[in-house]
Structure formats: C-alpha cells, structure tokens
Amino acid sequence: MQIHVVQQGESIFSIAGLYDSTPTAIIEANELETPGQLVVGQALVIPIVGQFYFVQPGDSLYTIAQRFGTTAAELARVNGIQESMVLPVGLRLYIPDQPPTSISTNAYIEPFGGEVSEALQTAAEQRSPFLTYLAPFSYEIQADGSLKAPPLDDFPAIAQANDASLMMVVTNLSEGGFSAELGRTILTNEGLQDTLLTNIINTAKEVGYRDVHFDMEFLPPELKENYNQFLRKAKTRLSAEGLLMSTALAPKTSAEQKGAWYEAHDYRAHGEIADFVVLMTYEWGYSGGPPRAVSPIGPVTEVVDYALSEMPANKIMLGQNLYGYDWTLPYEPGGEFAKAVSPQRAIQIARENNVPISYDQKEQAPFFTYTDPQGNEHEVWFEDARSIQRKFDLIKDRGLRGISYWKLGLSFPQNWLLLSNQFTIEKNQ
C-alpha cells in the first residue's frame, strides 16, 4: 500500500499515473464519493503491491533501507541501480512489501437506544474479517451482582462467520457514567463478587464469549488493591472455565500518576494477572476539552513505554480511536462540546468549506479550520492514513500484542486497508 497526500493541482488521474494504478482502484479503496473534488492535504491509500518512495534531500539507499526495514543491496537490486549510486532528489524507488507481522485486534461496538442499528450491524459484518475479537459494549454491573446486557442481535453469528472471538466487556457504568460508588460496592463485598463472577461465567457460556474484559473506571484510589484482588479471583474462576481475562487501563505514564481515572489501575498487577490489557491511548483531545489531536503520537508512546516497564509487550494492545472531533471556537471550559466525526466526514467538511488539510508533525495528526455559514470558526482534528501508520509503526517497533479500536460505526476505510496489508490477524484464539 502507498500513502499519498494530495497536492495543489493534482487529480485522481494524475495520482493514479504516478503510481501505475487506476482511478477506479483509488476511488474504491478510499470510498471517494466525489473523486473529482479532492482536498489539498487529503491522505489517500493507493492499492499497489509494495510502495514507491521519492528521494528527498540527504537520502541514501542505506537510510531509505533502514526506514523501510530492508537493505540497501535489496533496494538496489529491485530498482536496477548500483548500491553506490548517488541518488538524485525526486528519483522514484520501488519498495517491496515486507513480511506481515502477526497481531491480535479488537474492536468495541456500542449499540444505542436498546437496539442494534442497521449501520452497526453492517459495520460488524464489514470489519469482523479484520478482527481477533469483537467486543459488544457493555455488560453493566448491577448493585446486586447481576448484569444488564447490551443488545446483541446478530453479533455472535457475525463473529462466528468471520472466525472472530467475542469479548465480553464488563463495566461499572451506571446511568451513562462510570460509577465510583458502584465500584466500591462490588470491590468491597466478597459475596457480591462471587455472585457477579457466577453471572459472568454463565453468560459467557450461554452466548459464546472467549474473553471476559473488565473495564472498571473512575474507581476510588484506595480501592487499587481491592481491584487487584478481585481480578486475581476472577482470573482463577475464569481460567477454570477455559475463558481468557483482559482489562482496560487508563493511559498512565508512571505508577504514581494522580487522578481519579488513574490511581486504582495498577499496571504491574494487571500485567501479572490478566492474559492481556488494552491501553486506552486516546482522548487527549476530547469533546469537553480544547482542540487537540485525539491520540497524539508523543503521549501515546510515553504510555506504551511506561506499560512496557511494567509488563511484557505480548500482553499489550494499543488503544486507537476511529474518530475525530469538530470544535466550535473559541473554546470555553464548560461550553459547547465538540462533535464527534468520522475521518471520512472530516474530509467531507474540509471539501464542503474549500479549506486545505494540514498535518501536525509533532502530534502526527491531520487538522484544519473552517468558518461555518453562521460565521462560527471551527477546528477539526481527526485520523488519516498517516496518523494510523505511525501507530502501526509503534506496534511493530515495540513488538506489541496488537491494537484495539474504539469503536466501530464511523467510516475510516484507509485504516482497514493498511491494517490488512501490514499484519496477519490472529483468529480464534
């Protein structure tokens, strides 16, 4: 696969010619609704075998080979040039595909209003081939240890048809938010824990779940060891039933990190107890905060590196958002929340308002600003092929278990193309 960033004056035809591809292939791969109206700065994925690289000032075959995980001798061979050749700027080099890395993938899917919409069912059908786990969100713990189940509709059948395992997500959500008091009720009462685990096991067997995933957030800091002890008990019971157990972890960079979302999440203990964890490495830019990239590469990398200091890489799944936000400016604390947008919708907004897309090299994320018909200024940050590629590079560089997406239902076709091109997805674990 090739990532191409649209430049001023380019068309779908000129881009296709640049990579020996066809307009139809590019249109279909990127699900372009208006291929005659490309946005300057828009990142396209070109479906070719391997990729092309255009020599930049200061490049050598050696530095290019290092960048793409190959050798200068191999690049010279496939391009029919001498290894000692001084490369002219702008020279097009062909970079052959490297052997794919094997990873696990997960995607949460969240029905609303007590039913699974047709759009969500379609998303599950389209994306389950790319998934190790499909995770309906969520089973809400009740104060008596029972569970409030999400609507499932055809999710189990869809997962089975695509060799994906079901992940049972268990949360302390109550009335739309994570409840500290519900967490306290469960984590300080052994009898309620036993009832809860029995209900979890019965449900997992009935529905056909492979993994039980605890996403308990906003827990009081003093309950850290209570949570650890509960997870130890859960792991013993779930393992006896042949079930895996995983947890979701807030994005910490040290064991001493303060804050209601962080202190009860013990990375070292979760790494020892759980079969794997999901790092919630997103929401630096969030709907109620100021405009920023949702998952900037610097902070994401810091969380990953801290996690690696507490647990092995093969237990870590990187959390990744499949959305961006559209903020109305000026940002005011407590004011209007930003609107969530899919990457495809973000590009449409830029096109509709005739503004170019910029790319923040530090954050490794695309963004743009525009003025709506009412005269309001907006700032949009989202994900594109370039930003997701940086996360894939991080997964490969650190040898992580895989990636976990929050959440299905928002269109981002470039992600799935790049994922399937670079990774072998583990199935039926």
Q: Does the bond joining 413 to the residue before it have cis omega, within 30 degrees of 0?
A: no
Contacts of 192 (CB under 8 A, 6+ apart): 144, 145, 185, 186
SS3 state of residue 362: coil
Report how far apart, in Å, the C-alpha atoms of 113 and of each of 148, 151, 157, 158, 423 are. Answer: 14, 9, 21, 21, 35
Burial 351-386 (b: 16+ CB within 10 A, else e): bebebebebeeebbbbbbebeeeeeeebbbbbbbbb
> d(Cα 352, Cα 291) in Å, to the nearest integer?
21
Asked if residue 50 lies in contact with residue 94, where contact means CB atoms within 8 angstroms, the answer is yes
The one-letter amino acid code at 167 reads: M
Catalytic residues: 217
247 pairs with which residues across the strands? 214, 277
Amino acid in position 393: D
- Beta partners for residue 369, in sequence order: 379
Distance (Å, whole) CA 352 – CA 250: 37
| Angle of the 180-187 helix axis to the 224-240 helix axis, nearest 10 | 60
**Residue 247, SS3 per DSSP:** strand
% helix / strand / coil in the chain, to the nearest 5? 35, 25, 40
Q: Which helix (H) or strand (E) holds 217?
A: none
